[in-house]
Structure 1
Amino acid sequence: MIYGFAAFTVTFVFFHSTNNFSILNKTNESYLCPYFEGGLGNHMFIYASLYGIARDKHMTLLLNSHDEINTIFQLNVTKLRSTKNICSKSFIIQERLPCTYDSEILNFDRKKVVKLKGFLQSWKYFIKYEDEIRKQFVFERLIQDQAQEIIDSHINKYKSENDSHRHFTIVGVHIRRGDYLRPDNKELGYNVAPMSYIEKAFTLFRNKFTHCVFLVFTSPNKNDKKWLKKNVNGPDIIKIGTNKRDVDMCALSQCNHTIITVGTFGWWAAWLSNGTTVYYKNVAVQNSKLRQYFSEDMLDFFPSQWIGL
């Protein structure tokens, strides 16, 4: 699939020559190289932000065809068997604040091969190209089928035990705790969402919509599973077993609305769902190092239309 735009064209290009640079360099294009680190949510921020930056600066964003994100989504950028010949010689720029939009890091010479390192966790880097990003962040068909099967099996069982003729509003809930409770992360300033926040979020949706059903997902961390089993219960709550992370994100994205706690995984599930999103706003301890990574109002990270509790 090829998407064409008036000022910029993004295409699938697969080169199998070992001399990729000599082929590409004939076009006199300038190149932007990613540096992927972290989990799936991190990779999605890195890709989306670099895509937006490449569009703004009329550069070619390069990916390795084997990059993990390519196995989950069909992305509309230049893909090479290996970017090593080009990106190993790149001019490296390091971001300063991972969760804040920083226009200064964009003031680089577009004629150079540039590798922008950092998590780039601000929707402001790609908001102008939101429609293009949404067209790309469509899960592969097998992932979609597995996710839909999870939703259907639980909702059908729920309907069989309740009024099968009702229209249910499905709210996806993502609860993450485990790694945020590690001593190093707590020292940095990470918070986890308390049960009081989750109860407030449930109440908000119960008051806003009729016949809500909450599909609750959590990480594979055994302590998170125990915490979920003990604390999150109710007649309209369905706890989902842990699946592959891409399948879980896809399932969350197919829900009508979203409640998230902490982390980029939940952030992207909510963004893809594109319904009403409630988020835990105290993700970083005040005056901590982590809090300094965010803008003062945190709205460089959280979209303003989301509801913070």
Structure 2
Amino acid sequence: MITFFQLGKYGAIGNQLFQYATLYSIGKINNYTIKIPKTEEHFDEGTNRIQHYFLNCFDNIFAEILTEEDKKLIKYKAHDENAISYNQNMFNIPDFTTLEGYFQSYKYFIGFEQDLKKQFQFKKSIINSINAKYNINYKNFSSVHLRYGDYAHRQNYHPIMDKDYYKKAFELLDSSNYLVFSDSIEYAKVIFNDFKNINFIFVENNHAFEDMYLMSVCKDNILANSSFSWWAAWLNENNKVIAPKNWLGPAYYGRWNIEDLIPKEWIII
């Protein structure tokens, strides 16, 4: 049995999906039982908002629920030392281990993409809620994500993507209609105000997992440097994805590798 004691409390939904996908792949390769905690939503002081648990978004999660008795059986801890980096040695962990860290690399779950996409199918209640709210053909729109709020005072760690990044991204896509997602929608309106001949719809007042679903059904995706929009794009099918090369700031120098994070078929600018 392997688990992740802090799953649901070690970052928001995007981080949780990386952590679960890694846990699942390690378990399947080693034929270990996979168990995860049943965690409720909680307030995250770092982002100053409620963090939802990914288990509440999907119906088909493979893992069993971790019990208090199960916790007593755990003997080892395997910690991911780097912010974004693939460590093949993680697949050599012994049984009865709990993972700890971010595991932000698609390479951890190569070969398990279809398994995970089946598990990460959004609940019908989420889909129905979005379909009732937005009477549009999603494939006529691409998504663009701007992360600002909790990054504003931490740019040494998480740089904010500037107008020039989005200008280059728009030029690479053939879309003229965009759904805009942001944790600071008023700031996004200022940033995108100068772009002419583009139709923007600013998405507001949704739960985070509703936004992720909506991003995942758009035509193409322009990412912020955020695991949230990363996963929305990864769950999308047959799409073009634009991702920023400046994913992390200088505080993480030497601790991450863009090639471990961004799939080869995505466009990095």
TM-score after normalising by structure 1: 0.75
Is 1:174 aligned with 2:157?
A: no
**Any idea what the Cα deviations from partners look like across 1:194-246, whole Å, max 9, x if unmatched?**
0111111112113xx5xx31111111xxxx22221212134422222231101
Structure 2 gap segments, 5+ residues each: 41-52
Paired residues of 2:61 and 2:120 also in contact (CA < 8 A): no
Q: How does 1:104-123 map to 2 (within 5 A)?
A: 104-110=89-95, 113-123=96-106
> 2-side partners of 1:62 and 1:239: how far apart?
38
* Coordinate RMSD, CA, aligned: 2.0
DSSP 3-state at the match of 1:300: helix
Count of residue pairs the alignment pairs up: 249
Unaligned runs of 5+ in 1: 1-30, 157-166
Largest Rg, 1 or 2: 1
The one-letter code matched in structure 1 to 2:71 is C
Structure 2 equivalent of residue 24 of structure 1: none
Q: CA deviation at 1:277?
A: 0.3
Q: Structure 2 residue aligned with 1:50, among 18, 23, 44?
A: 23
Query: SS of 2:111's equivalent?
Result: helix
Determine the C-alpha separation between the residues in 1 that align with 2:81 and 2:217: 34
Looking at structure 2, the residues matched to 151 and 198 of structure 1 have their Cα atoms a distance apart, in angstroms, of 24
- The share of aligned pairs that are identical, in percent, is 27
Partner of 1:305: 265
Measured in 2, the distance between the counterparts of 1:49 and 1:289 equals 25
Deviation of 1:66 after TM superposition, in Å, equals 5.0
Name 1:232's counterpart in structure 2.
192
User: 2:3 and 2:185 mapped to 1: Cα distance?
Assistant: 38
Paired AA for residue 31 in structure 2? H
Task: Give the letter aligned to residue 127 of structure 1.
Answer: I
Matched, 1:86 2:73: no
Runs of 4+ with >4 A deviation: none
TM-score normalised according to structure 2 size:
0.86
Q: How many Å apart are 1:78 and its aligned residue? A: 3.7
* Partner residue in 1 for 2:46: none
**Is 1:257 equivalent to 2:220 in the alignment?**
yes
Alignment map for 1:1-309 (pairs within 5 Å): 31-34=1-4, 35-36=6-7, 37-65=10-38, 68-80=53-65, 82-90=66-74, 91-110=76-95, 113-152=96-135, 155=136, 169-182=140-153, 185-187=154-156, 189-206=157-174, 212-219=176-183, 224-233=184-193, 234=196, 235-274=198-237, 275-285=239-249, 288-295=250-257, 298-309=258-269
